Amino acid sequence: MSILNQQFDTAYNSAPFSRIKITDYIPAFDTAIAKTKAEILKITENPSAPTFENTLEAVAYSGLELDRIANIFFNLHSAETNDDLDRLAQEIAPKLAALSNDITLNFDLFERIKEVYDQRDGLTLNVEQTTLLEKSYRDFVRNGALLGDNEKEELRKIDAELAVLKLKFGENVLTETNAYELHITNRDDLKGLPEGTIEGAKAAAEGRKKTGWVFTLDYPSYVPFVTYADNRELRREITLAAGRKAFQENEFNNEQNILKITTLRHQRANLLGHSSHASFILQERMAENPEKVNAFLGTLLNKARPAAQREFDELTSFAERTQGISKLERWDGSYFAEKLKQERFNLDDELLKPYFKLDNVLNGAFSVAQKLYGIQFREIDTIDKYHPEVRTYKVVDDNETFVALFYADFFPRKGKRNGAWMTSFKPQHIRDGKQERPHVSIVCNFTKPTATKPSLLTFNEVTTLFHEFGHALHGMLADTTYPTLSGTSVYWDFVELPSQIMENWCYEKEALELFAKHYQTGELIPMHIIAKIKESASFLEGMATLRQLSFGMLDMGWHASDPRGIQSVKSFESDIFEATDLYPQIKESAMSPAFSHIFNGGYSSGYYSYKWAEVLDADAFSYFQQKGIFNSEIATLFKDYILSKGGTEHPMILYKRFRGQEPTVDALLKRAGLME
């Protein structure tokens, strides 16, 4: 039997990464899938009448071994993949899709759930049990329980094909990201770049056994280059390379994958009685339907477009005044925005970075969590890591009670996808009176340490760390009975509230004083710089809002109507971007083929939720500001009604319990400087 199918004999029941062999996965998945099927069969063949305990609870606790194995495998597939894992993922994904269909299309199982559901008014259930019952029933109906046999078979085929297509999409993006390098041998071409970035590029070149400097499409390399490099032609080259990811005439082109994915999603939604994939998805979201999402995006677009145009005109005037460039292109945006920010606020990310040593920022996030929620993070070396760079922590409360394991993986490397995310190796739940605590991880792609400097973060990386740490707190502070309702298992347009609200502390003097100290001198970041950080928070916010809205509109464009008539991915997205575009179009670039959030991640018909959650987080943080950003009473309310409750109740009910009222858009508009 594979080690993955056994109870782990490790500290805190942590994943035994060093003992897992590549050959363990397929047998482990096959065994766990068979075990899950047996657990379901035991439920359906139970001769006793269906009850909440012998049916709903039994289903909720089924498949935990399989979930654990899948969490380990797919988290490694994102953070530490290789050709073998890629190949296995293509084999495993259809098996999991088939099992999911076996369960959700199991008529006998659904009949038992329906029998309990039909008696719900006469049952004595608590709030969480009621939510589990109602959600389980809806999930079965939404996933085809009421379909005929032929339709069920069609649904199975669609889900199996989608599982493989989504994986292929992500692998193509990663392959294209890794394939590109900008190799520079002339030092003059480095003008404008910070020394730390140059040093990192030299190390990258040495790692590839090349002279000079190498820049890649990994964010810690790409973003500083397009932000600081004076060489406009090279900024153009690397920007076009980023825009061509999975949009080139080669085997890694994602255009056909997109058309297949969106068509299959639409067909699946139609099969289940919905007019579109967005209609299907949004039925289980706070936003409820595509019309409400489009109205929400439209309202913000009307507010942001005039401000964004003014900002763009100002940026263009600045570029013309300082460098004689009268027509801004996409490869100019970050560069001149940074220059204008420096002129207006005398605030340079490179001058800020010495105050944001990664270790200090991480400890700052820990200190904020301790002040708000009474938890402490202690680095340990008694559990396995999947890579030497990963850092591991034991989390305890003020009573020394074990809260969670926390993994932190900060630097880019081959085999790790771009971006930043929070994930879980083991969810929190309670079973047979035993509290199972979560194992949570954040994965980022920050600037690596060099031979002469520790990892020094840009301010954007600081807010990214706090953002993902907010997700992690949502997972670590979970306190629910059932794993399917625990932690981040909430409506998708609510899941970003705990993460986005954490970013606010990065702009507050009381919080910055905890960690913003010069890495060499220990000097606290000067107060006038804190004031400038706060003042600059809404700098070019109209343009930033417009950009974010464009992604949400593109997502809804693909998923809120029938995509089968779409012939050209590029033409389709260009038409959608017409309302939000400020820069000239680039024919060689397209966003959709690398839009992993919606085609490989979980954000299809949900990208709007970033802005939706900004409304929630601005409104929620204004409550903290009224009472004090470390006010224990407000923090306790947030912990008790948002962080610990998971998906046990409708999010608006939970939010009103915390806030005392529904959120309004006013706090967001005020924070963004868009209030008229």
Give me the amino acid identity at 282. Answer: L
CA 543 to CA 666: how far, in whole Å? 19
CA 425 to CA 433: how far, in whole Å? 21
| Cα 142 from chain centre | 24
Dihedral Cα 339, 341, 346, 349, nearest 10 deg: -80
pLDDT band at residue 34 using 50, 70 and 90 as cut-offs: very high
Average pLDDT over residues 624-650: 97
Query: Could you tell me which residues come within 8 angstroms of residue 402 by beta carbon, excluding any fewer than 6 positions away?
Result: 12, 394, 395, 396, 437
Contacts 24+ apart (CB under 8 A), 39-42: 39/63, 40/102, 40/103, 40/106, 40/109
**pLDDT above 90 coverage of the chain, percent:** 90
According to the 3-state scheme, what is the secondary structure of 104-166? HCCHHHHHHHHHHHHCHHHCCCCHHHHHHHHHHHHHHHHCCCCCCHHHHHHHHHHHHHHHHHH
Q: Which of 80, 338, 468, 496 is catalytic?
A: 468
Query: Could you tell me which residues come within 8 angstroms of residue 327 by beta carbon, excluding any fewer than 6 positions away?
Result: 316, 584
pLDDT tens readout for residues 389-432:
999 999 999 999 999 999 999 999 988 988 899 999 999 999 99
CA 607 to CA 625: how far, in whole Å? 28
CA 645 to CA 642: how far, in whole Å? 6
- pLDDT tops 80 at residue 125: yes
Q: Say if CB 162 and CB 265 are below 8 A apart.
A: yes
Active site residue 468: yes
pLDDT tens readout for residues 321-380:
999 999 999 999 999 999 999 999 888 878 899 999 999 999 999 999 999 999 999 999
Average pLDDT over residues 232-240: 98
User: Over the chain, what is the mean pLDDT?
Assistant: 95
Q: Say if CB 490 and CB 482 are below 8 A apart.
A: no
Q: What angle do CA 118, 124, 125 make, to 5 degrees?
A: 85
Domains located in the chain, CATH noted = 3-104+106-146 (1.20.1050.40), 180-243 (no CATH)
User: What is the bridge-based pairing of β-strands 402-409 and 439-443?
Assistant: parallel
**Residue 676: per-residue pLDDT:** 60
| Residue 616, token pair as written in the block | 């929630």
The pTM score is 0.86
**Residue 201: per-residue pLDDT:** 95
- pLDDT tops 90 at residue 290: yes
pLDDT tens readout for residues 447-487:
889 888 999 999 999 999 999 999 999 999 999 999 999 99
Could you give the C-alpha distances from 527 to 343, 348, 463, 514, 530, in angstroms and in order?
19, 15, 19, 13, 5
CA 259 to CA 567: how far, in whole Å? 9
pLDDT tens readout for residues 428-439:
999 999 999 999
**Residue 666: per-residue pLDDT:** 85
Neighbours of 526 (CB within 10 A): 12
**Residue 363: per-residue pLDDT:** 98
| Residue 635, token pair as written in the block | 């923090």
- pLDDT tops 70 at residue 610: yes
Query: Could you tell me which residues come within 8 angstroms of residue 351 by beta carbon, excluding any fewer than 6 positions away?
Result: none
pLDDT tens readout for residues 45-65:
999 999 999 999 999 999 999
Q: Say if CB 31 and CB 1 are below 8 A apart.
A: yes
Angle between helices 149-179 and 255-271 (to 10 degrees): 160
pLDDT band at residue 68 using 50, 70 and 90 as cut-offs: very high
**Residue 673: per-residue pLDDT:** 82
pLDDT band at residue 536 using 50, 70 and 90 as cut-offs: confident
- pLDDT tops 90 at residue 202: yes
- Residue 403: strand, helix, or coil: strand
* Burial readout 5-37 (b: 16 or more C-beta within 10 A, e: otherwise): beebeeebbbbbbeebeeebbeebbebbbebbb
**pLDDT above 70 coverage of the chain, percent:** 100
**Residue 564: per-residue pLDDT:** 95
DSSP 498-555: HHHHHHGGGG-HHHHHHH-B-TTT-PBPPHHHHHHHHHGGGTTHHHHHHHHHHHHHHH
pLDDT tens readout for residues 140-159:
999 899 999 999 999 999 99
